[in-house]
C-alpha cells in the first residue's frame, strides 16, 4: 500500500492488512495495481460483489447483476486511464440456480466488457448459497497512468455525469419501493468511463479516482494521496434527477463516475467538447488547495458532512 | 471455450455457459487463459473458494485458508508451464471476523505467492457471512505454454508426487475425525509445481494438467482435448501413505500435482533427475494411445471407475 487512503475505519483496516504483507505486496493502493510484465505496463484490479451485501436478487435480473459487477470492476481501470483488455469472472451460485440464469449473468458480464472493448478471458464457477460475483480486470496503457496522488494546489476539481442516482435506487429498494427507472438504470448499468478517462489524461489530468465510496469519501482519498485539500462547492455538484437532497449527491456511492483534478487552464470550453464527444456532463465542482481533507462549502461557507456512504 | 473438456454434468454446464459468450470470450478453456498484451504473452486464471463448499473454518487456520486458496490458483499457472508473477486476492469475511484473522489469511496467501516467486498485487475486501477467498493469478512465459491438447498416441503418462492425501484428510474431517498430519498437510499446503512444470516443458512435455478434479477426471480432460485415450495402470499410481485404497488415489481431487504426457523417449533416468532436483516423485503411470476417454487397468484388465471426485 503505497498511496495513503482517506480517513475511516474501513480504510484503516485495509491499510493495516496490506501493511502486514510488506515486501510481498507490490503496486497496490490506487484504484488498480500497476505493474510491469515483460516490458508491458498493466493495470489490474478485482471487485467482489456479494448477494445481500452489494445487491439483492429481487432488484436485478441475472444479466444486470453480471453487467453491474463487471462494469464496477472495469471502472477501476478507467480510474487510472488504462485501456480495458480482459476480465476473469468468478461466480458462486447455488446448485438450484437455473443454468439459464448463470448463462445470463455471464452474458451480462460479457456485455459490460464488450462495451469498453474488453473480452472475457475466463473465470471460475463454484457452488455458494449466496450469489457471489468476483471480477478481475486487466488493462494496458497508451500513455501515463493517472493516479490519485498527483493533484496540486490550484487544480480544478471536476466530476463526470450527475450524482445521486444509485443512492436514490438503493433508498427506494430499502424502503420496499421500486426505484424510478432512471435511478434504477444508474444502479444496474453503471458506465465505466474508460474512453473519457483517457481523454482527460490527454488533456492533462493530474489525479483521478472513480466514485465508488461517494464523492465526499473519494475526494478524501485524492486529498490524502495528493497531500492537498479538496474544496468542493456543494451547489455546483451535478445532481441526478432522482436525487432528492444535495447531500444524496455527495454521499451516493457506486456511481462509477470520475472525480478528476485538472490543471487550472482546463476550462469550460474543453468541458463542452467532452460533453459533445461523450454525451456525459463534465462539471467543475471545486479546487485543490493547500491543506488536507475535504471541505464542502455551500454559498461560501463550510458545511458539516453527516455520515459517509456505506454498503447497506 | 476452445479446448474440449472431459465428460460430466459440471463440465457440460461450463461448456454451455462459455458457449453463449461467443466472440466475447477469448483464450479460455485450458487451465489458464493465455493471451497476448503489448507483445507479452500472459497466463491468467481465477479460483474461488467458499466456506462450507471447499473448506470448513474448523479445519484450517486463517493463514492456511489463504495459503491453500492462493496455492490452488497458482497451480493453474504451473499447469501451463507459466512463471507466476502476481496475484489478486478477493476476500469476503463477516464483519465480526477479527481483523487479525483477515491479516493472517492475507499473510497465508502472500506466503503461497512468495513460495513460487510471485507477489500480491492487490485485491478486494468485502463483507460476507461465509468466508470467500477468490484468487486471480497472472503469469508469463519463458518458453511455450503446455496445453491439455498436445498428447499423441505413444506418449508416456506421468504424475508428480503421491496421490490420495487430500481425500484422506477430507474423509477424516467429514467423519468427525482429525486427519493424519501428513494427509492434512497435503490438503492445507498444496505445492504449486511451477518450477517442476517448466522443467518438464523443457524436456518435451506435450500435454499437462494439474490435478484438481482427481486423476481419473483430469486424465479425461487431457484425453478429450488431445483426442487420445489415456490408459492408466492403477498399480503404478503412487499412493500417499494416508490413502487407504487404490481408488482413493485415482479420485482424490485438489491434489495440485501434475499429470503430464511426455515423449516416449523420456524415461526413468530423467525421472530420477526430477526427484533429485525437486524432492518430489515423478512416476510413469500409463500411456496415451489411439481412442478416447480414460481406461484404468489393473493387472492388465480394465477396471470400472465408480464415482468421480466431487466437492463435499
Percent of chain A clearing pLDDT 90 (strictly above): 79
Beta-carbon separation of B35 and A86 below 8 A: yes
Beta-carbon separation of B107 and A21 below 8 A: yes
Quote the pLDDT of residue A2: 39
Q: What would the grid cell of residue B227 be?
A: 483426442
Closest CB to A122: pick one of B33, B107, B111: B33
A152/chain B closest Cα distance in angstroms = 26
Beta-carbon separation of A53 and B127 below 8 A: yes
The 10s digit of each residue's pLDDT in B263-308 is: 999 999 999 999 999 999 999 999 999 999 999 999 989 987 654 4
Closest CB to B24: pick one of A92, A114, A128: A114
Q: How confident is the model at residue B96 (pLDDT cuts 50, 70, 90)?
A: confident
Q: How confident is the model at residue B1 (pLDDT cuts 50, 70, 90)?
A: very low
Beta-carbon separation of B33 and A89 below 8 A: no
Percent of chain B clearing pLDDT 70 (strictly above): 88
Beta-carbon separation of B49 and A113 below 8 A: no
| B16 chain-A contacts, CB cut-off 8 A | 99, 103
Beta-carbon separation of A39 and B39 below 8 A: yes
What is the CATH superfamily name and number for domain B148-303?
PurM-like C-terminal domain (3.90.650.10)
Q: How confident is the model at residue B23 (pLDDT cuts 50, 70, 90)?
A: low
How far is B238 from B260, CA to CA, in rounded Å? 14
Closest CB to A24: pick one of B28, B114, B129: B114
Chain B residue with minimal CA distance to A85? B37
Quote the pLDDT of residue A23: 52
Quote the pLDDT of residue A66: 97
What ipTM does this complex have?
A: 0.89
Decide: residue B143, CB within 10 A, 0-12 exposed, 13-18 middle, 19+ buried: exposed
Quote the pLDDT of residue A187: 96
Beta-carbon separation of A46 and B136 below 8 A: yes
A59/chain B closest Cα distance in angstroms = 19
Per-domain residue ranges of chain B: 31-140, 148-303
Chain A residue with minimal CA distance to B47? A124
Q: How confident is the model at residue B309 (pLDDT cuts 50, 70, 90)?
A: very low
Beta-carbon separation of A33 and B88 below 8 A: yes
Beta-carbon separation of A17 and B102 below 8 A: yes
The 10s digit of each residue's pLDDT in B191-202 is: 999 999 999 999
**DSSP per-residue string spanning A25-91:** B-S-SSSSEEEEETTEEEEEEEEEEEBTTTB-TTTS-HHHHHHHHHHHHHHHHHHTTPEEEEEEEEE
Options 3.40.47.10, 3.40.50.150, 3.20.20.70, 3.30.1330.10; CATH of A31-140: 3.30.1330.10
Quote the pLDDT of residue B284: 98
Is a pLDDT exceeding 70 seen at residue B154? yes
| A47 chain-B contacts, CB cut-off 8 A | 90, 124
| B106 chain-A contacts, CB cut-off 8 A | 17-18, 20-21
B289/chain A closest Cα distance in angstroms = 30
**DSSP per-residue string spanning A147-163:** -GGG--TT-EEEEES-B
- Averaged pLDDT score across all residues of chain B: 90
Beta bridge mates, B160? B282
- Taking the model in full, what pTM does it have? 0.91
Q: How confident is the model at residue A309 (pLDDT cuts 50, 70, 90)?
A: very low
- Averaged pLDDT score across all residues of chain A: 90
Nearest to A212 by CA among A280, A290, A311: A311
Quote the pLDDT of residue A310: 36
The 10s digit of each residue's pLDDT in B202-260 is: 999 999 999 999 999 999 999 999 999 999 999 999 999 999 898 999 999 999 999 99
Q: What would the grid cell of residue B30 be?
A: 485450458
Closest CB to A121: pick one of B14, B27, B47: B27
How far is A122 from A115, CA to CA, in rounded Å? 17
Query: What is the pLDDT averaged over residues B178-182?
Result: 97
Beta-carbon separation of A46 and B114 below 8 A: no
Query: What is the pLDDT averaged over residues A124-149?
Result: 94
Amino acid at each position: 500500500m503505497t498511496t495513503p487512503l482517506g480517513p475511516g475505519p474501513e480504510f484503516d483496516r485495509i491499510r493495516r492488512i496490506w501493511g502486514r504483507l510488506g515486501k510481498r505486496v507490490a503496486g497496490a493502493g490506487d484504484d488498480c495495481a500497476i505493474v510491469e510484465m515483460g516490458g508491458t505496463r498493466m493495470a489490474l484490479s478485482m471487485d467482489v460483489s456479494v448477494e445481500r451485501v452489494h445487491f439483492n436478487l429481487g432488484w436485478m435480473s441475472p444479466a444486470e447483476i453480471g453487467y453491474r459487477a463487471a462494469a464496477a470492476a472495469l471502472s477501476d481501470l478507467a480510474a487510472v486511464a488504462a485501456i480495458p483488455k480482459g476480465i476473469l469472472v468468478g461466480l458462486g451460485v447455488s446448485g438450484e440456480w437455473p443454468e439459464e440464469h448463470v448463462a445470463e449473468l455471464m452474458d451480462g458480464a460479457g456485455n459490460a466488457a464488450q462495451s469498453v472493448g474488453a473480452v472475457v478471458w475466463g473465470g471460475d464457477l463454484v457452488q455458494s448459497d449466496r450469489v457471489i460475483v468476483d471480477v478481475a480486470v486487466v488493462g494496458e496503457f497508451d500513455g501515463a497512468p493517472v493516479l490519485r496522488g498527483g493533484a496540486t494546489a490550484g487544480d480544478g476539481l471536476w466530476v463526470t455525469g450527475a450524482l445521486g442516482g444509485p443512492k436514490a435506487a438503493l433508498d427506494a429498494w430499502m424502503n420496499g419501493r421500486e426505484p424510478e427507472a432512471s435511478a434504477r438504470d444508474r444502479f444496474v448499468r453503471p458506465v465505466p468511463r474508460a474512453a473519457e478517462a483517457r481523454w482527460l489524461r490527454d488533456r492533462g489530468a493530474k489525479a483521478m479516482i472513480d466514485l465508488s465510496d461517494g464523492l465526499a469519501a473519494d475526494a478524501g482519498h485524492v486529498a490524502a494521496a495528493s497531500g492537498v485539500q479538496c474544496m468542493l462547492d456543494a451547489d455546483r455538484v451535478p445532481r441526478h434527477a432522482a436525487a432528492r437532497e444535495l447531500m444524496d449527491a455527495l454521499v451516493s456511492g457506486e456511481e462509477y463516475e470520475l472525480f478528476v483534478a485538472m490543471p487550472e487552464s482546463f476550462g469550460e470550453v474543453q468541458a463542452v467538447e467532452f460533453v459533445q464527444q461523450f454525451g456525459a456532463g463534465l462539471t467543475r465542482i471545486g479546487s485543490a488547495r493547500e491543506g488536507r481533507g475535504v471541505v464542502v462549502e455551500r454559498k461560501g461557507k463550510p458545511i458539516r458532512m453527516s455520515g459517509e456512504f456505506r454498503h447497506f
